[in-house]
Amino acid sequence: MELNKNISFDEFSFPTYEEWKEEAQKSLKGADFDKKMFTNTLEGILLKPIYNEFDVNSHNFDLLSGSSLFNDGFKLSGHFSQKWEIAQSIPYNSPQDFNYALKNDLKFGQDAINIYLNRLDFAAYSKNNAECGLHLSSIEDFVVAFDGIDLTKHPVYFNIGEISLDFADIFLEYIHKMNYDKSLIKGNLGIDFFSDILLNGGSYHSIESQFETTASVFKKFSKELPNFGILTIHTHIYHNSGASAIQELAFGLTQSIELIAQLSEFGIDPSEIVRKMRFSTAVGSHFFMEIAKLKAIRYLWKEITKEFGVKDTKLQLHCQTALANKTKYDPWVNILRNSIETLSAIIGNADSIDVCNFDFMYGLPSEFSRRIARNTQLVLANEAHLYDTADPGSGSYFIENLTMEIISKTWELLQEIENQGGYEECIQNSFIQSEISKSAQIQIDNFQSRNNTILGTNKYPNLNERKPHDCKPITFITKSDSEIKQKVFEVTPINLIRFSANFEKLRNNAEIYESANGHPPQIVLINFGDLNDWKPRNDFASDFLQVGGFKIYNSPVFQNIQEVLDYKDDKIQPTIFTICSSDAKYEEMLKPLLAGIKSQIPKAYFILAGYPKEKVDVYKSYGINEFIHLKANIYSTLKRIQEENNISLTEE
């Protein structure tokens, strides 16, 4: 058989959107097309079921410069010509532990050094503090931490926040001591005093003095280490406080505008500021949104830096997998979340990536945890061949349209901030903090009502899970009154959050109860009637109640009330019962059933699976304490059930 090389698709007509919609409506079998096929995002973007070239061409970027979206400020070759750096952070406190781990990790695939500095060596704002980050407060610490490691071979990225002057001098002293070729030292110092101000709710330095110090360090480092970056915009703090993708970009970009403008006043060339600035962005689990966000920031960065007369507008973009969506319970799912987020960062053309350790809620990572995080990148690079694939995200109408939507909405918010006086004014008047708080609450509400899912936490929990056991415990340090820094000004702080935290309190309550009583809190599901009466609500109730750490026991299937009252199980002594049947059966048997159980177990607590609106008050009068149903706020419902049954409560 000879293959015809002149293949033509002219015989196939190009279907219109209307034709596609007509076929889609048939498959929906009467369901509402708009409700089923369109989705509103946190960012206020309406996601359509299908995209084509007309969606992309409908966007107008006259509000910017109108330059090509995908030919400027973006690596068209993807990672084919320049591989991303595997920049795993190693969060150990001890220089010795850090050095041992870093040597191992560099040997097995890591190629950049990523350091979160221990702030407590330089400043403390409270008496009791979790010890986070590497101790590098002396030349001796540097010697130990980097023993046997050549800093000319690997870029080193610090995150020093507001403690720039003290640390910068020590770092330079170490570089001099080692007699390195200073032109070969690459990386970034990570100065970002604004992020520390927001996280601490103020600072012991005024913002004016912070700019002065930053300018001083900038000039010194530009002379001493010409290829070493100075500034990092940590937009991940916005994401991990609950910001939307658009808020994360707008707040980070207006922060960069403030820095470029202010540092220029100290005689520093904007081109040099841009060259030595880096963004550290979070990537969450909304796969396509995160890809589009990373594409959008490059375009917006180009537009902003052009306004300062900068010609080389290349953005240095670091990505770290998000913390806000990670969980303590069923932490193995975090590995899957990290994989999706890492893929987003790669397709979005990140320059460096840090995959968080899946078990970070249990302490400092083990070697196994670090290896899993590192290998997440290595598998995608080498086995999925993403190192040698040129920009796999290009050409998607959906991603390109989503990118344009993000650009437009980010530009609008950016202009709103500038109209209010700029970034500094908007953290002083709490506009930025307020917007993040609103966004966070929307997401919290969605998770607590299960409109959004946290697998293993608010849906499909595994009460028999195996927990990580080889993490190193986090230590705490107590500071004396004289060691605590007094803030010279205050702002409303932003609060880092995890959306699973409240659910984890419920699970912890159940564990406390089990420790005190020898068994977890128990609920018996009373199944009544035919299979189609009880089975759907039984499945729903089992999943719903296990989210609160309740051990579920299923009764036999009963056909009459006397069978229920005669039922005994000597292995358990429950006081909480969930009735599972149909609304019609409830009308027939609920009143005598509850009365009969109450006569045997006076402290019985009753939950009804379902919510028959017209009968709610009546059923409450029969003795129903709680209703569980699809529209219920699962967190507040389970919290009430625990409180009303004297299950130990975790402090808020």
Does 42 map to a domain? no
Host domain of residue 213: 85-448
Q: Which two tokens stand for residue 533?
A: 């009466």
Residue 92 confidence (pLDDT) above 50: yes
Residue 69 confidence (pLDDT) above 70: no
What's the confidence (pLDDT) of residue 65?
Answer: 40
**Higher-pLDDT residue of 66, 251:** 251
Residues 168 and 291 placed together within one structural domain of the fold: yes
What's the confidence (pLDDT) of residue 4?
Answer: 63
SS3 sequence, 209-265? HHHHHHHHHHHHHHHHCCCEEEEEEECHHHHCCCCCHHHHHHHHHHHHHHHHHHHHC
Residues 439 and 573 placed together within one structural domain of the fold: no
Does 633 map to a domain? yes
Place 420 in a pLDDT band, splitting at 50, 70 and 90.
very high
List, for residues 299-343, the tens digit of each pLDDT value.
999 999 999 999 888 899 999 999 999 999 999 999 999 999 999
What's the confidence (pLDDT) of residue 3?
Answer: 61
List, for residues 376-392, the tens digit of each pLDDT value.
999 999 999 998 888 88
Residues 510 and 426 placed together within one structural domain of the fold: no
Where residue 383 sits, what CATH number does that domain have? Answer: 3.20.20.240
Question: Residues with Cβ < 8 Å from 434, sequence gap 6 or more?
Answer: 492
What's the confidence (pLDDT) of residue 538?
Answer: 97
**Residue 170 amino acid letter:** I
Where residue 590 sits, what CATH number does that domain have? Answer: 3.40.50.280
**Higher-pLDDT residue of 125, 442:** 442
What's the confidence (pLDDT) of residue 71?
Answer: 47
Q: Where among 448, 469, 490 does a domain terminate?
A: 448
**Higher-pLDDT residue of 62, 371:** 371
What's the confidence (pLDDT) of residue 622?
Answer: 97
Note whether 103 and 148 are within 8 A (CB): yes
281 CB neighbour count, 10 Å cutoff = 26
Distance between CA atoms of residues 566 and 563, nearest Å: 5
Residues 522 and 429 placed together within one structural domain of the fold: no
- Strand segments, DSSP code E, in 72-186 are 85-86, 113-116, 128-130, 156-159
What's the confidence (pLDDT) of residue 5?
Answer: 66
Residue 67 confidence (pLDDT) above 50: no
Question: Residues with Cβ < 8 Å from 216, sequence gap 6 or more?
Answer: 165
Residues 530 and 441 placed together within one structural domain of the fold: no
Note whether 85 and 352 are within 8 A (CB): yes
Question: Residues with Cβ < 8 Å from 317, sequence gap 6 or more?
Answer: 278, 279, 281, 294, 297, 298, 349, 350, 351, 352
Place 74 in a pLDDT band, splitting at 50, 70 and 90.
low
In 3D, which of 426, 408, 409 has the Cα closest to residue 417? 426
Q: Which two tokens stand for residue 248?
A: 């994360």
Q: Which two tokens stand for residue 565?
A: 């009252």
Question: Residues with Cβ < 8 Å from 406, sequence gap 6 or more?
Answer: 43, 45, 245, 246, 249, 289, 292, 293, 296
Q: Where among 412, 430, 448 does a domain terminate?
A: 448
Does 198 map to a domain? yes
Residues 414 and 545 placed together within one structural domain of the fold: no
Residue 86 confidence (pLDDT) above 90: yes
* Percent of the chain at pLDDT exceeding 90: 79
Total structural domains within the chain: 2
SS3 325: coil
The model's pTM: 0.94
Does 27 map to a domain? no
φ/ψ (deg, to 5) at 48 = -90, 165
What's the confidence (pLDDT) of residue 388?
Answer: 84
Residues 533 and 636 placed together within one structural domain of the fold: yes
Does 43 map to a domain? no
Place of tokens 């707008």: 250
- Rounded to an integer, the average pLDDT of 632-642 is 97
List, for residues 457-516, the tens digit of each pLDDT value.
999 999 998 888 888 888 888 888 888 889 999 999 999 999 999 999 999 999 999 999
Does 260 map to a domain? yes
Residues 377 and 507 placed together within one structural domain of the fold: no
Place 210 in a pLDDT band, splitting at 50, 70 and 90.
very high
List, for residues 552-595, the tens digit of each pLDDT value.
999 999 999 999 999 988 888 889 999 999 999 999 999 999 99
Runs of H (alpha helix) within 420-467 = 423-428, 431-448
Residue 78 confidence (pLDDT) above 50: yes
Note whether 45 and 402 are within 8 A (CB): yes
Place of tokens 């026991």: 553
Beta partners for 231? 191, 277
Distance between CA atoms of residues 648 and 514, nearest Å: 10
Does 37 map to a domain? no
CA distances from 108 to 65, 66, 120, 555 (A): 45, 45, 31, 53
**Residue 195 amino acid letter:** S
Q: Which two tokens stand for residue 110?
A: 């890591």
Residues 421 and 562 placed together within one structural domain of the fold: no
Q: Where among 448, 463, 481 does a domain terminate?
A: 448
568 CB neighbour count, 10 Å cutoff = 8
CA angle 360, 336, 357 (to 5 degrees): 20
**If you write DSSP's letter for every residue of 283-303 in order, what string do you get?**
E-S-HHHHHHHHHHHHHHHHH
SS3 266: coil
DSSP 8-state assignment for residue 383 = I
List, for residues 251-261, the tens digit of each pLDDT value.
999 999 999 99
Runs of H (alpha helix) within 50-130 = 53-57, 95-107
Does 133 map to a domain? yes
Residues 375 and 506 placed together within one structural domain of the fold: no
Residues 427 and 521 placed together within one structural domain of the fold: no
Average pLDDT over the chain reads 92
Residues 264 and 345 placed together within one structural domain of the fold: yes
Distance between CA atoms of residues 554 and 546, nearest Å: 13
Place of tokens 């998770």: 447
